[in-house]
Structure formats: C-alpha cells, structure tokens
Amino acid sequence: MNSMKVQNIVEWFWLIVKYTLAGLSIALIIRGFFLIPVPVEGISMQNTLTQGDFVLMEKFSDIERFDVIVFQMADGTTYIKRVIGMPGDTVSYRNDQLYINEEVVEETFLEENLAHDEERIPFTNDFEFEELMGVKKLGTGSYFVLGDNRRMSKDSRSFGAISEENIIGKARIVYYPLKRAHFV
C-alpha cells in the first residue's frame, strides 16, 4: 500500500472513533439526565403500569395533575404513582367519585380498571381530605398521589403528601416489554 492509502485509512479510523465517542457521550448524557430507565415493581399502578415494565422517566418538565411520577421516600423506597392533588388543593372521594376543591373531577385513566371490575365494593374508599391528612389543603410544594389500582396501592392515603423535593421525575414511556410499549 502506498502511504496515501494508509493515511486515508488512519484518518477514517480516527473519524469513526471520534463519532463513536461523541455518540456514546450524548447517549450517556441523555440516559443520565433526560430519559432515565426505571423498573416498575408491584401492582399498585395496574393497568397503566404492570410488574416488570420498564419506563423512561424525565425530570425537566413541571408536574401537572394526573401525571405519573417517580418519587423517593425518606427511607429510600422508590414509588411510582399518579398525582391527584396539587399544592393548595383539597382531595376527597365520595361514592367512588373524585372531588378536587369540592368539584367533581373525572378520572378517564381509570376506565380500563373499572371496566374489568366485577366486585361490588368501592374502587376508591371514601375519605374527606381534612380527616385523612389533618390539614384543610395541600401546602406549597406538596402533592397527593394515588395508585391506579386503588384497592392494592400504598399511597398518600397511608403515607401522606409527597414533597416536591422527593419527586425524581415523570414517567413518560413504557419501553419494555415491547408488546406493552406505550406513552404513560
């Protein structure tokens, strides 16, 4: 081989190495800061999320009502639940109906769960916010969360409101298993 061909091969090799390193760096940044994989454990979010699902979580957008969030408790336990109450809200259930600030609010995300519910007991037990939480409304930076599988969920009804500082991010996409892939 002449030296010109060797030089071209070396240049191509280093070009491929540079692009590969740049691509890996970008992938690591995206994975570490923008779209973080999180495994789903338990059945508290059934049918939205099931045991063994993997979701991509992001942590750069604002929390809104009915977002599915990932948060960590003081003991290090990580949970995935749905935001029902926002700062300043009161939340109550009467006869399986959600009331936020004493106004009826529909929960369309529960339709699949309720369609398969053949039991004659309430899907969400009745509670009044002040009796449950000991305050009239959620404080600044506090969120009330529930699992979509209300009968089998440990959530704000048992451990109280979630502080904004404990929220890690929002679940956006189920990416594994592929047959269950969907936006959350």
Which pLDDT does position 44 carry in this prediction?
A: 92
Integer Cα distance of 45 and 109 in angstroms: 11
Q: pTM of the prediction?
A: 0.80
Integer Cα distance of 110 and 47 in angstroms: 8
Query: Are both 61 and 104 inside the same structural domain?
Result: yes
Query: Are both 84 and 49 inside the same structural domain?
Result: yes
- The domain in which residue 49 lies consists of 37-183
Tens-place pLDDT, residues 61-82? 899 999 999 999 988 889 999 9
Neighbours of 53 (CB within 10 A): 22
Residue positions annotated with a catalytic role: 44, 81
Integer Cα distance of 74 and 72 in angstroms: 7
Check: CB of residue 37 under 8 Å from CB of residue 31: yes
Given a cut of 70, whether residue 105 has pLDDT beyond it is yes
Which pLDDT does position 120 carry in this prediction?
A: 66
Give alpha helix (H) positions in the chain: 3-29, 111-115, 129-133, 156-159
Given a cut of 90, whether residue 182 has pLDDT beyond it is no
Please give the tally of structural domains in the chain.
2
Which pLDDT does position 14 carry in this prediction?
A: 84
Query: Are both 50 and 16 inside the same structural domain?
Result: no
Check: CB of residue 87 under 8 Å from CB of residue 135: no
Structure tokens at 136: 């009239």
Which pLDDT does position 110 carry in this prediction?
A: 84
Given CA atoms 149, 126, 76, 79 in this order, what sign does their dihedral have? positive
Tens-place pLDDT, residues 107-150? 988 877 777 666 667 788 889 999 989 999 999 999 999 999 99
Query: Are both 46 and 116 inside the same structural domain?
Result: yes
Neighbours of 24 (CB within 10 A): 10
Instruction: Read off the pLDDT band of 27 (50, 70, 90).
Output: low
